[in-house]
Amino acid sequence: MSRETVLWLAGGIVVLLLCPVFLPRFYVYLVSLILLYGLLATSLNLVLGYGGIFQFHHAVFYGIGAYGTTLVLTKTGLPPLFAFIAGPLISAAFGLVLGVICIRLSKLYFGMLQISLGSLVWAIVYRWYSFTGGDDGIHGIPLPELLSSPKSAYYFTLMITLVSLFVLWRIIRSPFGSVLQGIRDNSVRSEMIGINVRRHQLLALVLAGFFAGIAGTLFVVVDNTVFPDMLFWTLSLEIVIMCLLGGWFTFLGPMLGAAVIVALRTFVSTYTDYWALVLGVVMMLVIFFLPNGILGYVEEKLKKGLIEPEIKEQ
C-alpha cells in the first residue's frame, strides 16, 4: 500500500467515526446499512471475484446468520455474546454443507443448484411459523443494553465491519488468496501443479458464508428485525450487482457498489414504488457501459494516465 492509500483510508475511517456526531439519526442508520451490505458484498466478492465461483445465492448465508443470532437470542437463555458468535458460525457450517453438495458441479450448474437449494431454505423459513415466525419474521429482538441505542449500534457495526474487511483483505493477500485467484484463472493448470482445487474452493465458500453471517448478525443489531426476504434469491442477485457496479476485481469495489445501491434505493423509494424498475435499468446500463465497475473504470483511467507520460519520455 502506498502512503497515499493509507492516508485516504485513515481519512475515510475518521469521517466514518465522526458520522453520528454531525449526521441526523436516519442517516446514521443508512450508513450502518451501507456498511453491513458492503461487508456482505465484499464477502461475496471473495468467492465471486477472487474465486471465480458462481455463488448466486449469497443472501441465504446472510439470512441464516441473522436468523441464527436471533433464534439464539430469543429462544435460548444463552448470553448475547454467544448468540453473536453462533450466527456467523451457523452460516459457515451451512456454507460447508451447501458447498459439499454443489462444489462438484461446474460454473453455471453450481450457481443454479445453489439458487435452488437456497430457495428451499427460504421456503422452510417462510413456512415454519412456530420457529422462525413465518412470513412475518421476528420483530423487536431483545439486544444487550450496550447495543440498544442507534449510536452504539452504529459504532458496533463500524468496528466489526472494519475488522472483518481487514481480515478479508489479509485472506485475499495470503498464499491461500493467491491460490484461489490462480484457480479462478486456470483451474486445470492449478490442479496439475498439485493444488487441491475443490478443497480451496470449499474453504473459500465457508469463509464467505462466515462473513455473510456476520453481516446478517449486524443487520439484527442495526434493525432489530429479521424477515424471510433476507434470504430470497432476488436479494442475492442484488448483491452480485453491488459487486459488479463497484468493480469486482477490486477490493473496495463491492463496498462502493453497496453504498450506491443502498443510497439509491433509499432515495428512490421515497419518490416512487417502482424501485425494481430503476434498479433494472441501472443494471442494464452497468452491464453495457461499465463491465468492470466504477473502481475498475477509475483504475483503468489512472493506469492510462501513468503509462502515457512514460511513452512521451521515450
Partner 1 sequence: MDVVYSVIPAGVLSQIFVGLSRTTILFIVASGLTLILGVLRIPNVAHGSLYMIGAFTAFSVAKLSGGGSTGFWTAVAIAPLAVAAISFIAERGMFQFLYEREHLMLLLLTFAFSLVFGDLVKLVWGSEYKSVPVPPVFQGFIPLFGGLPFPLYNLFLLVAGPVVAILLWLLTNRTKMGKIARAAAVDREMVGAVGINVSRVFATVFVIGCYLAGLGGVLVAPTVSVTLGMDHNLIIEAFLIVIIGGLGNIWGALLGALIFGLTQSLGILIWPKFGIIFPYLAVVVVLLFRPTGLLKSTW
Task: Tell me which residues touch partner 1 (CB under 8 A).
Answer: 54, 56, 101, 104-105, 107-109, 111-113, 115-117, 119-120, 123-124, 127-128, 232-234, 237, 240-241, 244, 273-274, 276-277, 279-281, 283-284, 287-288, 291
Alpha-carbon distance 99 to 116, whole Å? 13
CB 172 within 8 A of CB 51: no
Least distance between partner 1 and beta carbon 45 (Å): 13
Closer of 54 and 155 to partner 1 (Cβ): 54
Alpha-carbon distance 202 to 84, whole Å? 24
Closer of 122 and 154 to partner 1 (Cβ): 122
Least distance between partner 1 and beta carbon 193 (Å): 25
Closer of 110 and 211 to partner 1 (Cβ): 110
Closer of 166 and 267 to partner 1 (Cβ): 267
Closer of 61 and 233 to partner 1 (Cβ): 233
DSSP 249-295: TSSSHHHHHHHHHHHHHHHHHHH-S-HHHHHHHHHHHHHHH-TTHHH
Least distance between partner 1 and beta carbon 304 (Å): 23
55 by DSSP, 3-state: which?
coil
Q: Which of 50, 72, 35 is nearest to 208 (CA)?
A: 50
Least distance between partner 1 and beta carbon 287 (Å): 5
Alpha-carbon distance 111 to 102, whole Å? 8
Least distance between partner 1 and beta carbon 239 (Å): 11
